[in-house]
Structure 1
């Protein structure tokens, strides 16, 4: 089982989506090129996000292996944002936001299919 953020680590007004927890429980954490981030990488990624984009309230959950994009819950919009780590604040948003985790997951599976082709 992945080592996710605990209730003490998560923002007060956030809890993991049941769909996300089910994906992790099933071990579907490597959807090349995306992978679910856990453990110390998750914690350090959260610190980097908070430092780089202090005006954003983001909860990291996945990273692309082929670039610096990360998938995060955006607590201000309620959706999922793909953020390019290292981009100048205001330019970090990658493409449109997803309405929820399942929408992001559908795209991640499409990326998996495309990546393997």
Structure 2
């Protein structure tokens, strides 16, 4: 799962946080309904978000399988924003989290609820 967005294609001054890399390294990437993206899917989503929301600086990392929500680092806010992709600009921001672990805790809760 090391096929993340390359440093060449990432926004300047952004590096993947160590807590995210640890989760990926441990293989905790499928928390249905969320899953952490990699490879071509991740790169296409990154380019799509840039074209659909050019006023925002998002780095996507996970998407929900049951809707168009995408978890992203929001470089403008410094936290995590869940983007409802394909929504009109101004209506695309769903939820905000202070950091990756706050989002990850919610993803685990979603996983538990999903299986009930």
Question: Into which bin does the TM-score normalised by the smaller protein fall?
Answer: over 0.9
State the alpha-carbon separation in 2 of the partners of residues 65 and 105 from structure 1. Answer: 16
Residue 105 (structure 1) aligns with: 104
Cα distance between partner residues in 1 of 2:37 and 2:77? 22
TM-align CA RMSD: 0.7
The answer for the alignment partner of 1:37 in structure 2 is 37
CA distance in 1 between partners of 2:103 and 2:55 (Å): 23
> Moved runs in structure 1, 4+ residues, more than 6 A?
none
State whether structure 2 residue 6 is matched by structure 1 residue 6: yes
For structure 1, list consecutive stretches of 5 or more residues without a partner in the other structure: none
Equivalent residue, structure 1, for 2:89: 89
- Which whole-Å CA distance do the structure 2 matches of 1:9 and 1:103 have between them? 26
Aligned to 1:70: 70
- Count of matched residue positions in the alignment of Structure 1 and Structure 2: 116
TM-score normalised by length of structure 2: 0.97
Helix, strand or coil at the partner of 1:6: coil
TM-score (norm 1): 0.97
5+ long unaligned stretches in structure 2:
none
Q: Distance in 1 between matches of 2:51 and 2:9?
A: 16
Local SS of the residue matching 1:13: coil
User: Hey, which of these two has a bigger chunk of strand by percent?
Assistant: 2
SS at match of 2:94: coil
2:17 and 2:48 map into 1 onto residues whose CA distance is 23
Give me the whole-angstrom Cα distance separating, in 2, the residues matched to 1:109 and 1:102: 10
